[in-house]
Structure 1
Amino acid sequence: SLIRNRFQWPPAPTFSKGFFHLLLLLLTELNEKLNDEINRLIKKTSEGLYQCIPCKKTTKRLQNLQFHVESLHVIRMDS
């Protein structure tokens, strides 16, 4: 229609490949540091369980404990 033809979208912002590559490197580095911090707060007990060092919670599943540590002891600012 006539109205649609008169309206022009603003040009999309353009970023270089270098910008996205740098962003990806930064996010990868942050993710590695986060995982290191999470795993630093977990130990394996003599019974083969995984234990959260700050609050002593134990579980058989490492993935569950990693999520617990990340959400309660690493990400939260008031912990």
Structure 2
Amino acid sequence: MTVKSLNDEDKLPIKQLIKAVNRKMDDVLRVVDALNLGRTEVKADGVYRTFNNGDTIKVAEGVFKQRRVSSKRIKLF
């Protein structure tokens, strides 16, 4: 099912939406890996970027405590 207007957006099955997002995410990760931009990871003491060759650099420092999401609503646009 394709969405032709914003009114049809709620009629889209959630499984189909998840598949589409995952497919696009795979494409994004493939490009990031090809360009060797590195993957970003947030840890408790800062933000790190890991590159294809295994090098890890600290991008930002700070305290990043794990937080729980109060609402599970996802806004795509």
Larger helix percent: 1
What TM-score bracket applies, with the shorter chain setting the length?
0.3 to 0.5
TM-score (norm 1): 0.34
Larger strand percent: 2
TM-score (norm 2): 0.35
Bigger radius of gyration: 1
**Larger relative contact order, structure 1 or 2 (CA cutoff 8 Å, min sep 6):** 1
